[in-house]
Structure 1
Amino acid sequence: MTNISRSNYDPEVEESEYDRLERRWTEQLSELRVTQAGTQIMMGFLLTLSFQPSFETISLFERNLYLSLVITATLATVLAIAPVSFHRILFGHPGAKARVVSITQVLLRLTLILVALVLSGTVALIFNMVLGTTAGIIGGICAVVTITTIWIALPMTVLRKLR
Structure 2
Amino acid sequence: MAQASGEDAAGTGRQETPQERADRLWSEMLQEVRVCQTGAQILFGFLLSVAFTPRFASLPDFDKNLYDATVVLGAIATGALVAPVAFHRFLAGHGMKPELVHIAGRLIATGLVTLALTIAAALLLLLRTATGNATVAWLLSAAVLLWFTTAWLVLPQVVLRRTAARQRQETER
Relative to the length of structure 1, the TM-score reads 0.89
Instruction: Give the corresponding residue for 1:20.
Output: 21
Taking only aligned residues, the RMSD between alpha carbons, in angstroms, comes to 1.5
Q: 1:42 to 1:62 in 2, by over 3 A?
A: same
Partner of 1:120: 120
Task: Verify the 8 A CA contact 2:18 2:98 in the aligned structure 1.
Answer: no
In structure 2, what residue type is equivalent to 1:49?
Answer: V
Q: Residues of 2 paired with 1:21 and 1:12: CA distance?
A: 15
- Superposition deviation, residue 11 in structure 1: 5.0
Identity of aligned residues (%): 34
Alpha-carbon distance between aligned partners in 1 of 2:33 and 2:13, rounded to the nearest angstrom:
21
Per-residue CA deviations over 1:116-149 (Å, capped at 9, x if unaligned) read 1001111111111122211221122111111111
SS of aligned partner of 1:13 = coil
Separation (CA, whole Å) in 1 of partners of 2:140 and 2:54: 24
Moved over 3 A (4+): 10-13
Match of 1:7 in 2: none
Give 1:25's aligned amino acid: W
CA distances 1:8-28 after superposition (whole Å, capped 9, x unpaired): xx7553111111000000011
Partner of 1:155: 156
Relative contact order (alpha carbons < 8 A, sep ≥ 6): 1 or 2 greater? 1
Deviations 1:44-103 (A, max 9, x none): 121121222111110000000001000110111111111111110111113x11111111
Larger Rg: 2
Partner of 2:31: 30
Aligned residues: 154
| Counterpart code for 1:79 | A
Q: Which runs of 5 or more residues in structure 1 are unaligned? A: 5-9
Separation in structure 2 between the aligned mates of residue 25 and residue 83 of structure 1, nearest angstrom = 10
Q: Which runs of 5+ in 2 are unaligned?
A: 6-10, 165-173
**In 1: Cα distance, 2:116 partner to 2:43 partner:** 11
Do the aligned residues in 2 keep the contact of 1:73 with 1:118 (CA within 8 Å)? Answer: yes
Equivalent residue for 1:129? Answer: 129
Report the Cα distance in structure 2 between the residues aligned to 1:12 and 1:93, rounded to whole angstroms.
28
Distance 1:120 1:53 in 2: 23
